[in-house]
Amino acid sequence: MTEHIVSSFDTDLKEIGRSVVEMGGQAERLVADSVEALVKRDTELAQKVIVLDGPVDLLQREIEEKAVLTIARRQPLASDLREIVAAMRIANDLERIGDLAKNTAKRVLALTGEFHPQKLVRGVEHMSNIVLEQLKVVLDSYASRDDAKALEVWQRDGEVDILYTSLFRELLTYMMEDPRNISLCTHLLFCAKNIERIGDHATNIAETVHYLATGQLLTEERPKQDTSSLTSVAFPA
Amino acid sequence: MTEHIVSSFDTDLKEIGRSVVEMGGQAERLVADSVEALVKRDTELAQKVIVLDGPVDLLQREIEEKAVLTIARRQPLASDLREIVAAMRIANDLERIGDLAKNTAKRVLALTGEFHPQKLVRGVEHMSNIVLEQLKVVLDSYASRDDAKALEVWQRDGEVDILYTSLFRELLTYMMEDPRNISLCTHLLFCAKNIERIGDHATNIAETVHYLATGQLLTEERPKQDTSSLTSVAFPA
C-alpha cells in the first residue's frame, strides 16, 4: 500500500518535471525565434512567436495546479517538497521569458518599413546569442540536476549585464548622431532590455537548480553588473 | 481533535493573508516613492526605494514557504487551497511590482544633473497616479474579498495602456525635436514602461481576486490597449 502511494507520487513528480523541461524547450524556441525575426525582419515569424506564447502561459498554470494538488494529496517529505517548489519557480521564470520574447516579436511588427541599418541590430543579436546559450545550459542543468552547470550560469550573468550597459550607451549615441535612428533604436533598447531580463530569469533558474541540488540558497549577492539604469550619456558637444 | 486541526489551519491561512496585505502595502509605498523621487528628483528617496525592495523580496519567499508548508501539513479542501494559491500568486505579482519600482528609482539616480524639463516628467506622473489608484483598489479588493472592485480594476487596465501608448509617442517626438532630450526621454520611456507593467500586475491581482471570490477564471480576453510596441513614429519632415 505504501509502495503504491510512493510510486504514484513518483509518477506525479516525474510528470511535473517533464512538463517543466517541455516548457523550457518552448520558451527557448520563442526567444530564438523572436531574435531571428528581429534580425531578419521576418514579420511572419514574429506573428508565430506572439501566438505560441499562449501555450507557454497555459503550461505554467498546469504545472502550478499539478504541483499544488500533488503537495495536498501526497504530503511529501522535505526533499520532495523542494522538487515541487522548484518546478513551480522555474515555470514562473519560463512564463516570464515567454512574455519577454513576445514583446520583442511585437516590436518587430512595429519596425516594418523603418530605416533599419543592420549595424544597429548586430549588438542585440550578439547579446542574445550569449543569453540563449545561458538559457540552454541552465535548462540542461535542471534536466540533469547538475549543480556545477547551474553555478556556471549564475556566475556568467555579469557578462550579459556588461554587454547590455555598453549596448545601451551605443544605441543612445546612434540616436544622438542621427534622429532618423530614434524610433528604431528605442525599440532596440527595449528588445535589448527584454533579452537582458531573459538572462536574469536564466540566473533565477540557476539559483533554483542549486537549491534543488543542495537544499541551500545562494545567499551571496548575485554578481550584478548592469549599470545601464545608472547610465547617462552626455550630449556630444 | 478535528477542531484543533481546523483552527490551526485557519490561523495559518489568516497569517498568510496578513502577510500578503502587508506586502501589498510595502509594494504600494515603493511605487509611490519611486515616482515621487522621479518627479522631485529626490535621490535620497530613490536610494530608500532601492534598499526597501529587499524586504519585499524576502516577504515573497516567506509567503511561498508558509503556503507550501500549510498545503503539505493541512491537506486543505479545494476552497482553502484556492485561498493559498491566490496568496502565492499575488505575492509573486507584488514582488515584481517592487522590482519595477526599484528600477525606476535607479533611473532617478542616473538622471541627476541631466537637462530635465518638468513638462516631460508630467506625463509619467499622470499615468502613475492612475496606476497607483488601480493598485490601491485591487489591494482593497483582496483584503475585503470584493469581486466587484476587482472586476473594476480589471476593466480599467485599458486606460493605462492607452495613456502609455500616447506617452511613448510623445516622448519619441521630444527626442526628435531636441537631441538633448534623448537621454532623459529614454529613461522616462523605461519608467513609463515600468509603470505600465505595474498596472498589468494590478490586473493580474484582480484576476486572482476574482478566482478567489468565485472559483472562476476570467477567461475573456483581457481588454488590452497597449499598442506602444507596435508604435512607430515617423521622423518629422
Optimal mutation site among B58, B115, B230, B231, interface A, most CBs of chain A within 10 A: B230
What letters, b where the CB count within 10 A reaches 16 and e where it falls short, cover A157-172?
Answer: bbbbbebbbebbebbb
The answer to whether B101 and A101 are in contact (CB under 8 A) is no
pLDDT value at B235 more than 80: no
- Under DSSP, the state recorded for A181 is G
Number of structural domains found in chain A: 1
- Residue A224 scores a pLDDT above 80: no
Residue A226 has pLDDT above 70, yes or no: no
Residue A154, in any domain of the structure: yes
Chain segment A91-105, per-residue pLDDT in tens: 999 999 999 999 999
Q: What is the CA radius of gyration of chain A?
A: 20
CATH number of the domain that A14 lies in?
1.20.58.220
Give the ranges where chain B is alpha helix by DSSP (H).
2-40, 43-74, 78-110, 118-143, 147-177, 182-214
Q: How confident is the model at residue A1, as a pLDDT? A: 43
A203 in a domain, yes or no? yes
Has residue A57 been placed in a domain? yes
Interface residues of B toward A, Cβ cutoff 8 Å, are: 64, 68, 71-73, 75-76, 81, 84-85, 92, 103, 106-107, 109-111, 113-115, 172, 175-176, 179-180, 182-183, 186-187, 189-190, 193, 229-235
Q: Among candidates B180, B186, B174, B236, which has minimal Cα distance to A180?
A: B236
Nearest-CB residue to A186 (from B72, B115, B172): B172
Q: How far apart are CA A184 and CA B235, in angstroms?
A: 11
CA distance B6 to B202: 32
B140-149 mean pLDDT: 96
**Residue B237 in this model has a pLDDT that exceeds 70:** no
pLDDT in the model for residue A153:
96
Interchain proximity A233–B81, CB inside 8 Å: no
Q: Has residue A94 been placed in a domain?
A: yes
Contacts of B165 in chain A (CB under 8 A): none
Comparing CB atoms, the residue among A71, A115, A189 nearest residue B186 is A189
Domain membership of residue B235 (yes or no) is: no
Among the residue ranges A74-83, B12-21, B26-35, the one predicted with the least confidence is A74-83
Q: Is residue A106 part of a domain?
A: yes
First to last CA, chain A: 80
The stretch A98-115 carries a mean pLDDT of 90
Q: Which site among B201, B232, B233 would you substitute to test the A interface, given the most A Cβ atoms closer than 10 Å to its Cβ?
A: B232
CA–CA dist B95, B78 (Å, integer): 26
**Whole-number mean pLDDT of chain B?**
89
Q: What residues of chain A have any CB closer than 8 angstroms to a CB in chain B?
A: 64, 68, 71-73, 75-76, 81, 84-85, 92, 103, 106-107, 109-111, 113-115, 172, 175-176, 179-180, 182-183, 186-187, 189-190, 193, 229-235
Q: Which three cell numbers stand for residue B63?
A: 509567503
- The pLDDT value recorded for residue B140 is 97
The mean pLDDT of A169-178, rounded to a whole number, is 93
Cβ-based contacts of A229 with chain B (< 8 Å): 103, 106-107, 109-110, 187, 190
Residue pair B113/B179 in contact (Cβ under 8 Å)? The answer is no
Task: With respect to residue B67, please indicate whether it lies within any of the assigned structural domains.
Answer: yes
| Nearest CA among B188, B181, B196 for reference residue B228 | B196
Within-domain flag for A236 = no
Distance, in Å, from the CA atom of A31 to the CA atom of A135, rounded to the nearest integer, reads 10
Show the domain range for B98. Answer: 2-230
**Angular region, B222: left φ>0, alpha ψ -120 to 50, beta rest:** beta
